[in-house]
Structure 1
Amino acid sequence: MSFLQHPAFQSLVLPLLLAVAGIALLRWAGTRWSSLGAALGLVLAMAFWPGFDWPASSRAQTLPWIALAGLVVAALAVALKAPGTQVLGRRSGFLVTALITALAVALAVWAALGGSLLLAQLALMVGSVAGVASLWAWRSASVTPASLLPLLLAGLTIAYAQASLAPTAPDARGEAAEQDDPYYTPKWK
């Protein structure tokens, strides 16, 4: 397994690096646009892994498309200067993004304990870019509510996919039977 295929790189390092690069790139366009950098990092990380599959045959495969749609809507809102694109204050922006980060990490724990490593990795991707947005909000106070839309939509999609997983039925001894993750298919070499 190469470093690029390692789950820790795919779910923590790559989204973090792409979110930082997205914020740095969009910073020159203004404070409203720079807050979209974290969402851009999430979409680019999801393009790298798990990728944009069409047609999406599972709920987990719809996640990159939902994050992309949220990014497009947020970018249109920023371009049109719609309500909800005003920059939040440093304290409120940091609190909101820190809450999203904590919820994404809790969602990753729930997915890992619930039996889906793919959903746990995807939730860690959301948590990683939300952490970057949190640090950016603390440092420069330039987070808008519209820029958090892709992160919230991705988190809600992951929560829905995890909640819709069927629980395993107990066997004759009363213990839950082991079941493979329906979303995760590793590429072993």
Structure 2
Amino acid sequence: MSFVNHPAFQSLVLPFVLALAISALLRPLGLRWAALGAALGLVLALLFWPGFDWPATSRAQMLPWVALASTALAALAIALKAPGTRAMGRRNGLIAAVLLTLAALALAAWGALGGSLLLAQLALMLATVGGVAVLWGWRAAAVLPVSLLPLLLTGIGIALCLAWLPAGGAAASDGAGADDPYYAPSWK
């Protein structure tokens, strides 16, 4: 088993390192751009795993595209200085980022207990970059509503995928020893 293909690396280490590095690299451009580092880190982590499949044939394959499109729209809004691109207050920004991170952790638990390890792993990726947004908001007091929008939309997509799973998970449709229909890890 390769360390790079391990789910813990893909879900926790890679998104954390990418989001922190991107936020630090965007810092010279200003706080508005650096706040977008968490969303860009999520998109790059999703590029690494599970990848961008086209055409997206399942709901889970649409999630990276949702993250990419919403991050591109957020970047456009920041470039145009649209409403919602001013930093929230330190307290409000931290509360919003913490609530988003806690919601992503709840989605990860729902995915793990509800029958989809892929969606649980994607939710952990979301929680990890949400944690970077919390750190960035605590350190620089620069959390923008538009920078949290890609994370929120990806979380909503994960929640919808989990809600549309068959009752009883994959075992209800394929027998007692069935695996997650979305999940085919390369580390097995």
Q: Calculate the TM-score normalised by the size of structure 1.
A: 0.94
- Local SS of the residue matching 2:26: helix
Following superposition of structure 1 onto structure 2, how do residues 1-189 of structure 1 map, counting pairs within 5 Å?
1-168=1-168, 177=176, 179-188=178-187
- Structure 1 residues 188 and 42 mapped into 2: Cα distance closer, same or farther (>3 Å)? closer
How far apart in 2 are the matches of 1:138 and 1:6?
30
- Local SS of the residue matching 2:8: helix
Code of the residue aligned with 1:143 in structure 2: it is V
- In the alignment, structure 2 segments of 5+ residues that lack a partner are none
Code of the residue aligned with 2:73 in structure 1: it is V
Q: Give the structure with higher Rg (CA).
A: 1
Superposed displacement of residue 141, structure 1: 0.5
How far apart in 2 are the matches of 1:186 and 1:95?
35
Code of the residue aligned with 1:185 in structure 2: it is A
Superposed displacement of residue 143, structure 1: 1.0
Deviations 1:14-59 (A, max 9, x none): 0000000110011110011110000000000000000010001111
Deviations 1:141-177 (A, max 9, x none): 01100001110111000000010001139x9xxxx94
- Structure 1 residues 26 and 184 mapped into 2: Cα distance closer, same or farther (>3 Å)? same
Number of residue equivalences: 184
Identity of aligned residues (%): 65
Contact 2:2 2:187 (C-alpha < 8 Å) held by counterparts: no
Superposed displacement of residue 180, structure 1: 2.2
How far apart in 2 are the matches of 1:180 and 1:9?
21
Superposed displacement of residue 178, structure 1: 5.0
Superposed structure 1 runs of 4+ greater than 3 Å apart: 176-179
Contact 1:168 1:177 (C-alpha < 8 Å) held by counterparts: no
Contact 1:168 1:179 (C-alpha < 8 Å) held by counterparts: no
Contact 2:6 2:187 (C-alpha < 8 Å) held by counterparts: no
Code of the residue aligned with 1:11 in structure 2: it is S
Contact 2:115 2:168 (C-alpha < 8 Å) held by counterparts: no
How far apart in 2 are the matches of 1:161 and 1:53?
17
